[in-house]
Amino acid sequence: MSLMRRLLNPYLRVMEKRRLRNAKSPGALRRALEVNARLFFLPRGRGFTKTRIAGVPVLRRDGVAPLLLYFHGGGYVFGSPTTHKAMLAQIARRVGCGLILPDYRKAPEHPFPAAVEDALEVYSAVMETPGGVVLGGDSAGGGLALALLAEILRLGLPLPKGLFAFSPLTDFTGSGESLRSNAASDVVLPAERTGDMTDMYLQGADPNDPRASPLFAAFTGAPPVWLCAGDTEILLDDTRRMTERLREQGVQVTEVIAHDLPHVWPLFHTLLPEARATLGQVSDWIRRL
């Protein structure tokens, strides 16, 4: 347990959790995360270019195989490739891989299944990349990566080499016990706002749809998966139950449950030694693929 973790968690509880609890609009959420990214998620990541793939805006960074296709988090409402590129640059430095970070469409302007459609379009355009593709994501982006993997399997498309996700959102039905039992201990996500995010994204769509809640998807024949979450997160059970679901279907899963670390802690890699260690673990896993 690092000293920085002891300092960061109280700060996040007072500042970040309060901000998420009190934000009045999607625009306020988006602006705040962009500011936080410039302050905390350093270095900012160089060598990226803005382009479009299958009509979807992306940030792209060249590298050797494999190609990492990564979906940022933000409840399908906020976040962007810019807020997450510094963390992904750290993985690329360790692995040497190329990066694509799609700026998929966000709710409430573009509700479900717009994000899944964008993810599938981008993957379809790069799935034949020599050396293969690895899917990744965090929070809602982790759920999006898993939903994409299920769609790839359903459609019979060429498979990625693997998938990793930090603190993924895998269940929009709200049936995970940690949503309630960890409501007080989670230092970032306010449990009372999950209904608002669900309403903005689904806008009446079925939360049991596996494209929204990959916990209920079919994954037989999937490549290896690596998942992590903190034991104090409200989304802890989204990872635990996703791991069980995948293993029941014969998928090779590496599950990492860390103690008392904030939601998507690898974002804080310049502050937390635990974050740097986790990025090292997932980078080693990617290399082994």
> Minimal CA–CA distance to 176: which of 261, 86, 242?
242
CB 261 within 8 A of CB 234: no
* 124: Cα separation from own chain's centroid: 20
Give CA separation, 244 vs 209, 216, 219, in Å. Answer: 19, 11, 12
**Cα angle, residue 248 at apex, residues 174 and 245 outer, rounded to 5°:** 15
CB 121 within 8 A of CB 55: yes
**Residue 84 falls in the annotated catalytic set:** no
Question: Which entry of 72, 84, 139, 213 is annotated as an active-site residue?
Answer: 139
Q: Which two tokens mark 200?
A: 């903005």
Specify whether the backbone of 177 is left (phi greater than 0), alpha (psi in -120 to 50) or beta.
alpha
CB 61 within 8 A of CB 67: no
Residues 6+ positions from 284 with CB-CB distance below 8 Å: none
**Residue 233 falls in the annotated catalytic set:** yes
**Residue 110 falls in the annotated catalytic set:** no
Question: Which entry of 72, 84, 263, 269 is annotated as an active-site residue?
Answer: 263
Question: Which entry of 16, 151, 233, 274 is annotated as an active-site residue?
Answer: 233
Side chain identity at residue 126, one-letter code: V
Collapse the DSSP code of 287 into the 3-class scheme (helix H, G, I; strand E, B; otherwise coil) and give the result. Answer: helix
Give CA separation, 253 vs 30, 68, 240, in Å. Answer: 33, 18, 11
DSSP 23: -
**Which active-site residues does the annotation give?**
139, 233, 263
